[in-house]
């Protein structure tokens, strides 16, 4: 019995421990035995710091895609093709388990369980190859195997490495509506279940390990939160337990000031607001989809993006209020493969209801419009260059003269500190005065400035803008140490 004052047990007072951290590991952080080993070390380091972790894991990298391919093959009657995919997946999961778990009994038990799960998955696929109809509900059941298996393997690997881990079936906690493939969480129920299921485990100093992305409806039927939904699970659990922090472990150092492949002196952004991160994600920065961390933002829980291959790097912290920064921008994002559609010179142009007719065409083809600009005689819109573009143009031609030009890129400069600053636009366009700019917009959010250029000019534009605006970066917001270290290295 520990001596000293007895701390109130969380499960009795209904409050999660103060130092609770939800740690979400993406597919690359659990892709094989080596990655899972690194993940275990990261969680152990948090425990050593006195934190109380709750772990959420994705399926092993690419497994969700492959399960969806197996489902699609089976639904087309290609039973052999579908089973060939699961046979490879079976081997991959078994190999990871065997490499991670050295104690023979535990290893046998885990491998048995993996075999059983794949047997039942194969049964579903055989049935599908007969029925030839893949419903969203069956699709969710099939993809759920990815996270169900990864969470088992990770929990066993943690135990083997001295963590007192328990696998928890996320479907008992994350309750959603029945909108299969993109189910909406039922917050009150999730909060209740998270308290009931997780707090008693935390009282016993256990480390719960659960799959992200998978959930169930109120009748217990498996649902999923939509692709990439594991971050969402992390935020939901963090929100439900009012965690101190949420960590999203991926394979990048965090949000950068620009794509480092294009701009070698890009810097890591140490801290950014939720709104700024959301803007960047919309414009193609792939680090994380901010809508998924909304449950955390609403409760003011900071979210960090971290690299499981470089755990010492502090990553990027995403917080509710933008930190003050002495330069206007935090980051430059680029979205390529865009097309501009110019709709010109119709007598109907700009009359009542005209724009809605134009938008109805995009709606019909389920095509999102990125940017719109109108003048007296024309409307220009930008869209992803997608397969239905010729049809969209044909439909629009019924309304007006239409011109479509591909190979465009949208450059988006994001920063809370451009709000209300004068002369920023002039500085931006001065930095790229050698580049032809087609369309300009300053977002209604007042925290982004974007403009459309030729795709071939995009990299050069980013480098010029970066040179102009990140010459003297604020060390409170950007990782300037890394740049210093680089300079020293290259001088040696
Ligand atoms: N495994 C799921 C996916 O690939 C969810 C996730 O990893 O976030 O979409
Ligand atoms: Mg992901």
Q: Which domains does the chain have, with CATH numbers?
A: 16-251 (3.40.1160.10), 331-491 (3.30.2130.10)
List the residue whose alpha carbon is closest to atom 8 of ligand 1.
228
Signed CA dihedral, 230, 257, 413, 366: sign only: negative
> Which atom of ligand 1 sits closest to the CA of residue 227?
9
Residue 345: what pLDDT?
Answer: 63
Does ligand 1 lie within 6 Å of residue 27's CB atom?
A: yes
* Cα(256)–Cα(276) distance, integer angstroms: 12
| Span 338-393, pLDDT tens digits | 999 999 866 666 677 788 888 999 999 988 888 888 877 788 898 888 878 999 99
Does ligand 1 lie within 6 Å of residue 58's CB atom?
A: yes
Does ligand 1 lie within 6 Å of residue 250's CB atom?
A: no
Could you say which ligand is closest to the alpha carbon of residue 233?
1
pLDDT bin (cut points 50, 70, 90) of residue 485 is low
* Cα(408)–Cα(410) distance, integer angstroms: 7
| Span 398-447, pLDDT tens digits | 888 999 999 999 999 999 878 777 788 889 999 999 999 987 876 656 78
Could you say which ligand is closest to the alpha carbon of residue 31?
1
- DSSP-derived 3-state class of residue 447: coil
> Which atom of ligand 1 sits closest to the CA of residue 229?
8
Distance 280 CA to ligand 2 centre (A): 16
Does ligand 1 lie within 6 Å of residue 59's CB atom?
A: yes
- Whole-model pTM: value is 0.87
* Cα(19)–Cα(414) distance, integer angstroms: 33
Q: Which of 58, 65, 143 to mutate to test the pocket of ligand 1 (most atoms within 8 A of CB)?
A: 58
Does ligand 1 lie within 6 Å of residue 227's CB atom?
A: yes
| Span 53-106, pLDDT tens digits | 999 999 999 999 999 999 999 999 999 999 999 999 999 999 999 999 999 999
- DSSP-derived 3-state class of residue 304: strand
Beta-strand pair 448-454/439-442:
antiparallel
Does ligand 1 lie within 6 Å of residue 473's CB atom?
A: no
Q: Which of 24, 27, 144, 145 to mutate to test the pocket of ligand 1 (most atoms within 8 A of CB)?
A: 27
Distance 145 CA to ligand 1 centre (A): 12
* Cα(372)–Cα(381) distance, integer angstroms: 5
> Which atom of ligand 1 sits closest to the CA of residue 59?
1
Could you say which ligand is closest to the alpha carbon of residue 64?
1
First vs last C-alpha separation in the chain: 58
Structural tokens at position 206: 């256990």
């Amino acid at each position: 019995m520990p001596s000293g004052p007895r701390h109130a047990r969380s499960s009795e007072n209904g409050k999660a421990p103060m130092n609770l951290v939800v740690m979400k590991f993406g597919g690359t952080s659990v892709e094989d035995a080596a990655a899972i080993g690194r993940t275990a070390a990261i969680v152990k380091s948090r425990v050593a710091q006195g934190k109380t972790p709750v772990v959420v894991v994705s399926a092993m990298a690419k497994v969700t895609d492959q399960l969806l391919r197996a489902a699609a093959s089976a639904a087309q009657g290609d039973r052999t093709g579908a089973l060939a995919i699961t046979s490879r997946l079976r081997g991959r999961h078994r190999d990871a388990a065997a490499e991670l778990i050295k104690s023979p009994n535990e290893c046998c038990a885990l491998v048995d369980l993996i075999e059983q799960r794949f047997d039942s998955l194969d049964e579903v696929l055989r049935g599908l190859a007969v029925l030839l109809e893949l419903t969203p509900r069956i699709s969710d059941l099939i993809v759920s195997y990815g996270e169900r298996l990864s969470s088992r393997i990770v929990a066993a690997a943690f135990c083997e490495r001295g963590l007192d881990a328990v696998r928890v079936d996320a479907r008992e906690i994350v309750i959603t509506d029945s909108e299969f493939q993109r189910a909406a969480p039922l917050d009150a129920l999730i909060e209740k279940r998270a308290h009931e299921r997780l707090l008693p485990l935390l009282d016993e100093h256990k480390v719960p390990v659960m799959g992200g992305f998978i959930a169930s409806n109120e009748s217990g039927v498996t649902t999923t939160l939509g692709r990439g939904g594991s971050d969402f699970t992390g935020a939901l659990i963090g929100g439900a337990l009012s965690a101190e922090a949420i960590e999203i472990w991926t394979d990048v150092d965090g949000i950068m000031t620009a794509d480092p492949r294009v701009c070698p002196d890009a810097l890591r952004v140490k801290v950014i607001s939720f709104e700024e991160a959301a803007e960047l994600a919309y414009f193609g920065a792939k680090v994380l989809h901010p809508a998924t961390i909304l449950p955390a933002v609403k409760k003011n829980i900071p979210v960090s993006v971290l690299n499981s291959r470089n755990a010492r790097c502090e990553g990027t912290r995403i917080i509710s209020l933008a930190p003050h920064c002495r330069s206007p921008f935090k980051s430059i994002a680029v979205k390529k493969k865009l097309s501009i559609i110019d709709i010109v010179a119709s007598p109907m142009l700009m009359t009542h209801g005209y724009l809605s007719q134009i938008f109805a065409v995009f709606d019909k083809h389920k095509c999102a419009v990125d940017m719109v600009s109108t003048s007296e005689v024309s409307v220009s819109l930008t869209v992803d260059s997608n397969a239905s573009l010729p049809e969209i143009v044909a439909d629009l031609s019924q309304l007006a003269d239409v011109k479509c030009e591909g190979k465009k890129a949208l450059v988006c400069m994001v920063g809370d500190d451009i709000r209300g600053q004068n002369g920023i636009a002039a500085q931006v366009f001065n930095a790229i005065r050698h580049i032809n700019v087609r369309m300009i917009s300053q977002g209604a959010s007042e925290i982004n400035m974007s403009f459309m250029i030729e795709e071939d000019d995009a990299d050069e534009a980013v480098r010029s803008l970066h040179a102009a605006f990140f010459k003297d970066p604020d060390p409170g917001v950007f990782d300037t140490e890394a740049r210093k270290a680089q300079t020293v290295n290259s001088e040696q």
